[in-house]
Chains A and B, each alone.
Chain A
Amino acid sequence: MAMNPMEQFAIKPLIAEPVLHIAGHPIYFTNQALLMVIVAIASSLFLTLAVKPNRLVPTRGQSMAELSYEFVANMIHSATGEDGLKFFPFVFTLFIFVLCSNFFGMVPGSFTVTSQIAVTLALACLVVGMVIVVGFMKHGIGFLKLFVPHAPWYLLILLIPIEVISFLTRPISLSVRLFANMLAGHTMLAVFAGFVVSLGAAGGIFMGVALAPLLLIVAIMLLELLVAFLQAYVFAILTCIYLNEALHLHDHH
């Protein structure tokens, strides 16, 4: 009866042989790679096909695609101002990828891509790397002023190391936030599902009691749908905030 709630996060190769070798390391095509491919193809197909007919009166699909476009555009505009809009493709892709991975993970029996720290850390490093590149391209060496807040010099001795450390921990906090939320939510669902199974197996009066965790799973599922959207949103808005700092340093636009 001991069901391991962490079992759902196991990565299994779908094809027994490695697909290719990179520097002696075998690279397998895993269930995670499959889900990432599905997410990428499904989201890009939906977004292109939904707006293809370009109707004046949008259908449900078209308005979903248009709403997501407007939503991200407004988010970037409010967080970074006018000149942040040239990063729209980057932020939109990130947002849609994270959102679709979270939502595909909610389908029972599938696999949550974002519950792997490797995936979220790669995304977060991409964001922070982008911020650093953009900052140095826009301001040159003056980008380092980001680490010098407006303060008396004797406070700067303390503040500059803090600013540097807080900048360096961004990839970790950004990735662990998404990863831990997904991991915690799915683990909780698995634990409650375990209650249902063990109560159902006990038989008799316990079969009726098993209804309670079953209903609770439905409620948690709804909560997890909210969290799935919220985490994608937070990931995207934090990307915008970091980009804003790289573009404008400390001055307010």
Chain B
Amino acid sequence: MELAAAKMIGAGIACIALVGAGIGIGNVFGSYLSGALRNPGAAASQTTNLLLGFALCEATGLFGLVIALIILFT
């Protein structure tokens, strides 16, 4: 197989990591909303944890994206 084609396929496979990030971010916000609707009083105090969880989740998916970009552009 040609190297260029293999690189393209590899970059595509590396982007599968974003599936996990999508599931994770959905989970973070979904859980926050269901918790916040049950107890709206405690919702405001948990926004820090919400954003932190969102960022930590998103980063793991983006690691895969970075690998894809490295494969494509180096």
**Interface residues in chain A, defined as those with a beta carbon under 8 Å from any beta carbon in chain B:** 6, 75, 78-79, 173, 176-177, 179-181, 183-184, 187, 230-231, 233-234, 237-238
Contacts and interface: CB of A to CB of B under 8 A. Distances in A.
B67 to A, nearest CB: 10
Contacts of A183: 66, 69
A28 to B, nearest CB: 21
Interface string B42-67: 00000010011011001100110110
Best-surrounded residue of A173, A177, A180, A181 (most CB of chain B within 10 A): A180
A233 B47 CA distance: 12
Contact of A230 (B51, B62, B65): B51
A237 B62 contact: no
B51 A6 contact: no
A173 B59 contact: yes
Contacts, number: 40
Contact of A180 (B48, B62, B73): B62
Contacts of B52: 234, 237-238
B51 A180 contact: no
B65 A177 contact: no
Contacts of B62: 176-177, 180-181, 184
B59 A177 contact: yes
Contacts of B55: 177, 230-231, 234
Given A181-B58, A230-B55, A231-B55, A78 B63 contact: no
- Interface magnitude class on chain B: 10 to 19
5 A-B pairs closest in CB distance: A180-B62, A234-B55, A177-B59, A180-B66, A6-B73
Contacts of A187: 69
Main secondary structure on A side of the interface with B? helix
Contacts of B51: 230, 233-234, 237
Contacts of A75: 48
Given A6-B69, A181-B62, 4 more contacts: A176-B59, A180-B65, A230-B54, A233-B51
Contacts of A238: 52
Best-surrounded residue of A6, A78, A184, A187 (most CB of chain B within 10 A): A184
A177 B73 CA distance: 19
Contacts of B54: 230
15 contacts: A6-B69, A6-B73, A173-B59, A176-B59, A177-B55, A180-B63, A181-B58, A181-B59, A181-B62, A183-B66, A230-B55, A233-B51, A234-B55, A237-B48, A237-B51
Contacts of A181: 58-59, 62
Best-surrounded residue of B51, B55, B62, B73 (most CB of chain A within 10 A): B55
Contacts of A237: 48, 51-52
Nearest to B58: A181
Contacts of B73: 6
Given A181-B58, A230-B54, A176 B66 contact: yes
Nearest to B62: A180
